[in-house]
Amino acid sequence: MLDVDKTLPKDPDELRQFTALLLAEVKSQAVLIEKLRHQLAGHRTHRFGSSSESIEQLQLALETSEIAVAKMTAKLRLPDEEPKDKPKRRPIPDHIPRMEVELTTGDDDCPQCGGGLRRLGEDVTEELEYVPGRFIVNRIVRPRFACSGCEAFTQAVLPSRPIERGRPGPGLLAHVLVNKYADHLPLYRQSGIFERDGIDIDRSTLADWVGKSTALLEPLADAIGRHVLAGQAIFADDTPVKMLAPGTSKTATARLWAYGRDERPWDSDAPPASWYQFSSDRKGQHPKDHLAKYQGWMHADGYAGFEDLYQSGDIREVACMAHVRRKFVDIHRAQGSAIADEAIKRIAQLYAVEKEARGSPPKRRAALRQEKAKPIFDDLEAWLHIQLPSISGKSPLAGAIRYALTRMTRLRPYLDHGILELDNNTAERAMRSIAIGRKNYLFVGSQTGGRAAAIAYTLIETAKLNGVDPQAWLADTLASIPDYKINRVDDLLPWRTAP
C-alpha cells in the first residue's frame, strides 16, 4: 500500500515515478473492487440456503443407510435379518377398502385321479396397495381343495411379488419411489403422511422397500444405459452430493454423473433417455469406466477429468456455449459491463439460428449453421480477441473472455455436424431433479445408497423425458419384472409402454 504521509517529491523524475506507482496502486485497487463486487453479487444470489435441524439430519442418515442395506441384501440374495429393534408389523387397518381376488387352479376334478374336489379352507394374503389418491388392500384368496377320491390337495400358486414375504403392492412401491426421487419427499416425511391416513409404516420399512425395489429394477437401468451409449452424440455432466464417510459422523463429497441422449432436435426417432451413475469422488477414472465402450461425440463442460477420454479419439469433445454465456451474464449482473452485455447479445444470435434449425434433419441443420451461424461465430471469436487487450488481465471479465475463446475452439464441430448441439443443456436439465432433491435429503448414506439413487433417477427421469407417467409405469414394471426373463428386459423400457 502507498504511504499516505509521504510528501510529494520535488524532482520531476521522482514525481513521474511516484505518479506511476500511484496509478499502479489505483489500478490494483480497482481490480480488487471489481472482484469483490462480482463475489458479492454471487453471495447475494445464493445467500438463502437450506437449513435443517439435527433431528432431520439423523432421520435422513438412517434413511439412506437403511436403503443401502436393503439394496445390498436383495442384490446378494441374503436372508433378511430381523433386528431386535425392528418395528413389528401391525395389521392393516379395517377402514382401508378391500378388493378381493380369488385364485384357483381352474380344475373341477382332481388332476391325479379325476375325482371330485371339495373345498377345505383357504389361505388369504393381504397386500397393501396404492392407487392415485388412496390406499386399498388387495385381498388375495387361494382356496384349498381336497380330492374326494384320493385325498390329494390342490391350491393355486401365489403370484410372484416385488418383495417376497413383504406386503407392499407394486403401486405402493412405485408411489414411495416417485415421492422420494421425483417429488423430493424423504421417507420419514412419507411415513408421517401415511400415518395421517391411518397407515402405520415406519421409515426403516420404507427404506427397506426402496433398497429392494431398486435392486430389482437395476437390470432395467442398465438397459437404459446401453441405449444412451448407443447414440452418436451424448451429453455429460456431474453434480456433487454429500456421502457419509465410513466410520465417522462426517460427510465426504461424492458425485452423481448424468449421461443423456436426446436426438429429438434433429428429428430422430430414437427415444430420449438419461443414465445416472454414482461415484465416491470426482476422479477422471469414473467417467472413463462409465464410457469405456462408447464411441462418438460428447457434449461436456471443461472438466479436466474428461481430457483422458479424448486422447484415444474414440470420444470427441463438443464444448458448451451455455457455460460461456453464463459467465458473461454473471459479470453483467454484478457490474453492468457493456462488453459482457455485447457478448450476450452476440451469443443470442447463435441461439436464434438454433431455434430455426430445431426439428430439421442433420444435413439441413448443418447447412443452415454454415450459412447463418458460422459468420456470427467467427465474428464473436474475433471480437473477443480484440476486447481482451483493452481490459485488465486479472479482472473477472478477462477471465470470462479467455474461457470463452478456449471453449469456442472446442465448440466449432457443431457448425459442421447437424447431430450436435450448441450447448450441454440436455445434461444440465437432467441434473435439476438432483439439485432440488439434494436440499431435502442432504446426503446419501453409503456408496450402495448412492447407486440406489442413481437407479431410481435413471428410471424416473427417462420416463418423464418420454412423456410417460413414472408412477404408473413403475407400478406396471414392478408387477411384471419378478418373473421377466433377463434377456427380454428391454421390452419393459418406458418408451415401449402402451399409452
- Cα→Cα distances 184→61, 346, 453, 457, Å: 15, 38, 12, 11
Q: Which of 181, 79, 89, 142 is nearest to 450 (CA)?
A: 181
Q: What is the pTM of this model?
A: 0.80
pLDDT tens digits, 178-228: 999 999 998 889 999 999 888 999 988 998 999 999 999 999 999 999 999
Q: Which range has highest mean pLDDT (140-149, 301-310, 367-376)?
A: 367-376
| Residue bearing the bigger pLDDT, 48 or 96 | 96
Q: pLDDT tens-digit profile of 323-347?
A: 999 999 999 999 999 999 999 999 9
pLDDT at position 274 is 98
What pLDDT, in 10s, does the model give residues 110-162? Answer: 877 877 787 878 888 888 888 777 888 888 899 998 988 887 889 898 888 89
Residue 225 contacts residue 288 (beta carbons within 8 Å): no
Query: What is the per-residue pLDDT for 425?
Result: 96
Q: State the pLDDT confidence band at 52, using cuts at 50, 70 and 90.
A: very low
How many Å from the N-terminal Cα to the C-terminal Cα in the chain? 72
* Higher-pLDDT residue of 262, 22: 262
Residue range 465-487, pLDDT digits in tens: 999 999 999 999 999 998 888 88
Cα-Cα-Cα-Cα torsion 160, 161, 164, 170, nearest 10 degrees, comes to: 170
- The CA angle 374-378-380, to the nearest 5 degrees, is 115
Q: How far apart are CA 88 and CA 419, in angstroms?
A: 56
> For the residues 295-322, what does the mean pLDDT come to?
94
Confidence of residue 26 (pLDDT cuts 50, 70, 90): low
pLDDT exceeds cutoff 50 at 53: no
Note every long-range contact of 324-330, with CB atoms under 8 Å and residues 24 or more positions apart, other chains counting: 324/400, 324/403, 324/404, 324/407, 324/408, 327/399, 327/400, 327/403, 327/404, 328/400, 328/404, 330/38, 330/41, 330/42, 330/396
Q: What is the pLDDT of residues 57-96, one digit of tens each?
A: 555 555 665 676 566 666 655 555 555 555 666 777 887 8
Tallying the residues shown for the chain, one arrives at 499
Q: Which three cell numbers stand for residue 359?
A: 426439428
Question: Which own/partner pairs from 196-204 qualify as long-range (CB within 8 Å, at least 24 positions apart)?
Answer: 197/135, 198/93, 198/95, 198/96, 199/92, 199/93, 199/96, 199/128, 199/135, 200/90, 202/87, 203/59, 203/62, 203/63, 203/66, 204/62, 204/66, 204/86, 204/87
